[in-house]
Amino acid sequence: MLKERVTMHNYNHLLNDFVLQSRQILKDNLTGIYLHGSAVMGCFQAERSDIDLLIVVKDGLSKETKRQYMDMVVALNERAPKKGLELSIVRECVCNPFVYPTPFELHFSITHLNWYQENPDDYVEKMQGVDKDLAAHFTILYHRGKVLFGREVKSVFGEVSSEDYMDSIWLDIRDARSDILDNPMYIILNLCRVLAYKKEGLVLSKAEGGLWGKEYISEPVYKRLIDCALEEYQNGESIFPDESVTVEFAEYMLKKIGSEV
């Protein structure tokens, strides 16, 4: 019997509960809740994707509200896919006009779960600041995001400049020469989507970036490398060519991206 593929539809009840409980906690301070990332770009994979959310509030949050909100998030995270929920809470005033690097009120990802569970007071006190990654999240949301609750996207978010977006996504690939050996799938597909943005202004998912790269890049050995990355992204495993070819690809792509600047 074929195993049923888990899609975002399987998490509709989770998202509904997330919206309901967010409204109960944040009340009139809540401007909107927005879905972005693979969940809205048609490439969600339950074993390899998280659920990306942005929550916009009018005013800052007290420590008590942050504790209450985090308790809710941690409980709902148990129903999330393997990589969990990832979310940031930002104030409306940093969304339009867009502020970069972007201040945030609270952030959660599964990598921080133990910290919160072991010392919640320390977590809510320190988990705030600025995050350059938010420029990438805002861009995807602006062009392809989904409203789960609240005002329409373009009435809340201003457009991110190409300079800020590029600076944000560059952080993911600037060390590609060394990082590609540890996580070839992620780096290969990210290099493709960054180049697609530099050449054509396209805001793509990792999978879409890989497909674009196969069309743009003519070298057969690099096409095979991208095929391997796409295969792993879709099916969870693949056999990559020799490491020297993988490093050569990173150097080739970084040079291409640099020449487009």
**Residues 202-222: pLDDT tens digits?**
999 999 999 999 999 999 999
Domain of residue 245 covers 174-260
Q: Same domain for 229 and 191?
A: yes
Do 205 and 122 belong to one domain?
no
Confidence of residue 195 (pLDDT cuts 50, 70, 90): very high
Bridge-based pairing of strands 102-104 and 129-131 is: antiparallel
Tell me, yes or no, whether 188 and 66 share the same domain: no
pLDDT score for 6:
83
> Do 90 and 193 lie in a common domain?
no
CA-CA distance, 187 to 175, in Å (whole number)? 9
Q: Are residues 209 and 179 in the same domain?
A: yes
Confirm whether 87 is domain-assigned.
Answer: yes
Mean pLDDT of the chain: 94
**pLDDT of 1:** 41
Q: Are residues 207 and 111 in the same domain?
A: no
For 92, the token pair is: 């409306």
The CATH number assigned to the domain holding 140 equals: 3.30.460.10
Over residues 102-129, the mean pLDDT reads: 98
Confidence band (pLDDT; 50, 70, 90) for 139?
A: very high
Q: How many domains are there within the chain?
A: 2
| Predicted confidence (pLDDT) per residue in 235-260, tens digit | 888 888 889 999 999 999 999 999 75
User: Is 107 contained in some domain?
Assistant: yes
End-to-end Cα distance, the chain: 51
Please report the pLDDT score of residue 70 as a whole number.
Answer: 98
pLDDT tens digits for 151-161? 999 999 999 99
Rounded Cα gap, residues 175 and 182, in angstroms:
11
pLDDT at 67 > cutoff 80: yes
- Kindly state whether residue 244 falls inside one of the protein's structural domains: yes
**Residues 172-187 pLDDT 10s:** 899 999 999 999 999 9
* Residue 207 counted as domain residue: yes
110, 135, 159 — which closes off a domain? 159
Has residue 229 been placed in a domain?
A: yes
Q: Which residues share a beta bridge with 54? A: 34, 88
Q: Which two tokens stand for residue 89?
A: 């809470």
Q: Are residues 139 and 201 in the same domain?
A: no
The percent of residues above 90 in pLDDT, for the chain, comes to 89
**3-class SS at 205?**
coil
Q: Is residue 164 part of a domain?
A: no
pTM exceeds cut of 0.85: yes
**73 and 189 fall within a common domain:** no
Name the pLDDT band for 4 (thresholds 50, 70, 90). low
pLDDT for residue 239: 86
